[in-house]
Amino acid sequence: MDALLINNQAFQLFLTEAEIMARIAQLAQQLNADYSSRKPIFIAVLNGSFMFASDLLKAIQFDCEIQFVKVNSYQGMQSSGKVQELIGLNQNIANRPIIILEDIIDTGLTMDFLITDLLRYEPESLAVCSLLLKPDALKVKLQIDYVGFEVSNQFLVGYGLDYNGLARNLRQIYQAV
Ligand code: IMP
Ligand code: MG
């Protein structure tokens, strides 16, 4: 399908399943070269990264573990606004190489929070691997080690990414039109 309508919003095909899979194979190849015999822990950020994590890990050839976490955000009491909270981390990551898996980095605020929070546990190393990155939307300076696709400031859905909770199940990635 090249075009679709979700809650009255039109979307058109942006990345095919084959393009996504080919790029993930390249990312896995890079990781296979960088992490062999280091036994890292992948930390995948739910909900968006579930498909990416699944397909990427099938192409990983070193011993590794995976943990799924979530970043909850809610309006805090301070006027400074959103408070973020990491939930689901139930393993000691001290002195272990960590690779964070994300679906998309937009403003970068979520990733900035995650990096700061995870560093408190003193991992051996901390790398970020995101399928998608919107470089022009970044509001903070981040070191992002592995990026699948750099995209412009457009709204994307599919392959884990949602629009009002819908479209995460699609095999391809679509852009709002
Ligand atoms: P950030 O904190 O602004 O970088 O936002 C990161 C989160 O916002 C991602 O993990 C997604 O859940 C969501 N997000 C950002 N851009 C998009 C998009 O284009 N489509 C769907 N979700 C998005
Ligand atoms: Mg996400």
Active site residue 103: no
For residue 154, give the ligand 1 atom closest to its CA: 19
CA distance 109 to 138: 8
The CA angle 56-155-114, to the nearest 5 degrees, is 55
**Dist. CA 128 → ligand 1 center (Å):** 15
Q: Which helix (H) or strand (E) holds 25?
A: helix 17-35
CA of 36 to the centre of ligand 1 (A): 30
105 Cα to the center of ligand 1, angstroms: 6
d(CA 121, CA 104): 24
Tell me the domain boundaries of the chain. Answer: 22-151
Q: Which region, left, alpha or beta, applies to residue 170 given φ > 0 means left and ψ of -120 to 50 means alpha?
A: beta
- Tens place of pLDDT for every residue, the chain, 177 residues? 899 999 999 999 999 999 999 999 999 999 999 999 999 999 999 999 999 999 999 999 999 999 999 999 887 666 566 789 999 999 999 999 999 999 999 999 999 999 999 999 999 999 999 999 999 999 999 999 999 999 999 999 999 999 999 999 999 999 999
Which residue has a Cα nearest atom 22 of ligand 1? 161
Cα(119)–Cα(144) distance, integer angstroms: 15
Question: Ligand 2 centroid to 50 CA: how many Å?
Answer: 9
Catalytic one of 55, 106, 145, 162: 106
SS (H, E, C) 54-115: HHHHHCCCCCCEEEEEEEEEEECCCCCCEEEEEECCCCCCCCCEEEEEEEEECCCHHHHHHH
Residue 160, ligand 1, Cβ within 6 A: no
Q: Which ligand is nearest to the CA of 73?
A: 1
Nearest 10 degrees: Cα torsion 34, 64, 72, 167 = 90
Residue type, 52: F
> Residue 133: is it exposed, middle or buried by C-beta count within 10 angstroms (0-12/13-18/19+)?
buried
Please report which ligand is nearest the Cα atom of 176: 1
Architecture of domain 22-151: 3-Layer(aba) Sandwich (3.40)
Does the C-beta of 109 come closer than 6 Å to ligand 1?
yes
**What predicted TM-score, i.e. pTM, was given to this entire model?**
0.96
